[in-house]
A and B are shown apart, each in its own frame.
Chain A
Amino acid sequence: MTAYETVIGLEVHVELATKSKIFCSCTNGSDAEPNTHVCPACCGMPGMLPVANRQVINLGMTAGMMLNCHINRTTTFDKKSYYYPDLPASYQTTQWFAPIAVNGYVTIQTEDGPKDIRVKQIHMEEDAGKLVHDNWSYTTLVDFNRTSVPLIEIVSQPDLRSADEVVAYLERLRSLLRFAKVSGARMEKGTMRADVNLSVRPAGSDVLGVRTEMKNMASIAAIRRAIEYETARHIDAIENGIEELVQETRGWDDDAGKSFAMRNKETAGDYRYFPDPNIMPVVIDDEWYDRIRESLPELPEVKLERYVAQVGLSDYDAGILAQSRAFCDCFEGAMAVGAAPKEAANWIITNCTGILNKRGLTSEDLPVPGKALGQLIGLVNDGKVSSANGKRLLETLFDLDSRGEDIPEDMVAFAEAEGLVNSSDTGALEAVVAAVIAADPETAQAYRDGREKALNPLFGACMKQLKGKCDTQVLRSLLIAELSK
Chain B
Amino acid sequence: MDRDALLGLESLNQLALTPEEQDEMLAFFAAREADWESLAQVDTANVERMVHVRPMVNVLREDVPSQPFSREDLLAQAPESMDGYWQVPRVLQ
Chain A residues at the B interface, C-beta cutoff of 8 Å = 18-20, 25-28, 33-40, 43, 45, 51-57, 74, 76, 81-85, 98, 131-133, 136-144, 266, 270, 275, 277, 279-283
Contact = CB atoms under 8 A, between A and B. Distances in A.
B91 A45 contact: no
B85 A143 contact: yes
Given A36-B71, A53-B60, A83-B14, A45 B65 contact: no
13 contacts: A25-B64, A26-B66, A34-B83, A39-B69, A39-B74, A51-B60, A53-B61, A81-B12, A138-B89, A141-B86, A142-B87, A143-B85, A280-B58
B63 A85 contact: no
Given A54-B61, A140-B87, 14 more contacts: A26-B65, A27-B67, A33-B71, A34-B83, A35-B71, A35-B84, A37-B67, A76-B51, A132-B85, A139-B82, A140-B92, A141-B83, A142-B86, A280-B56
A55 B67 contact: no
Contact of B85 (A51, A76, A137, A142): A142
B74 A140 contact: no
Contact of B87 (A74, A137, A141, A277): A141
Contacts of A57: 60
A280 B61 contact: no
B52 A76 contact: yes
Given A19-B65, A20-B63, A25-B65, A140 B88 contact: yes
A84 B83 contact: no
B89 A139 contact: yes
A123 B62 CA distance: 20
Contacts of B53: 277
B17 to A, nearest CB: 15
A136 B90 contact: yes
Given A51-B59, A53-B61, A280-B58, A85 B52 contact: no
A32 to B, nearest CB: 10
A43 B90 contact: no
A35 B85 contact: yes
Given A40-B74, A83-B13, A20 B91 contact: no
Contacts of B52: 76, 275, 277, 280-281
Interface centre among B56, B62, B82, B85 (most CB of A within 10 A): B85
B74 A43 contact: yes
Nearest to A49: B59
B19 interface: no
Given A138-B90, A270-B8, A281 B74 contact: no
A25 B61 CA distance: 9
Nearest to B75: A35
B4 to A, nearest CB: 13
